[in-house]
Amino acid sequence: MLNWLKTRSEDRCKAKELYGAIVTGARQPVFYSGCGVEDTPEGRYEMIALHLFVVIDRLKGAGPQADRIAQRVMETFVTDMDDSMREMGVGDLSVGKKVKRSAAGLYERFRAYRTAMAQSPADLAEQIAGFVPGRVDAAAVARYLTASAQALKATDLDSVLSGKVIFSSIPGEPS
């Protein structure tokens, strides 16, 4: 039993590190100043969703530990959404419903992005434009997302699991 608790604690620590890397990637100023993403709670949510998608997609099917960490990262995301909504003053009675809606929206985006990535860059850009608020340069964000997914697939799984995630640079931006 103690091994299970230790493993769970280690998984949570890794998930928090990984989620921190996801949020750092999503908060790159160039998305908001250069790619036209609105710097609003909705815009930040969409950028977290994009980064979360490529990381979870990388972990999917990579073994039991990766699956556990992916689950913990999703739990960390839900906790972050709950905390953020409370900080923004959303009432206690409606936080749960809004968090559920955020999580459901995340899975909707994952399906749409996964399908679009398998089809073409134009399809991915179309999906991004449909979800991300603002006058977003969806083609640039799609190129970034594709390059980041490829970089993550080439990254050693242990590095990804420990939060050492390096996302691609945004096309046209210095590395």
Write the pLDDT tens digit of every residue in 141-162: 999 999 999 888 888 888 888 7
Which DSSP string do the residues of 59-116 spell out, in sequence order?
HTTS-HHHHHHHHHHHHHHHHHHHHHHHHTT--HHHHHHHHHHHHHHHHHHHHHHHHH
In a domain, 155, yes or no: yes
Give the residue numbers spanning the domain of 99.
10-161
In a domain, 170, yes or no: no
pTM of the model: 0.82
In a domain, 83, yes or no: yes
In a domain, 94, yes or no: yes
In a domain, 154, yes or no: yes
In a domain, 166, yes or no: no
| Number of domain units in the chain | 1
- The 10s digit of each residue's pLDDT in 55-101 is 999 998 888 888 888 888 888 887 777 666 566 666 666 666 766 77
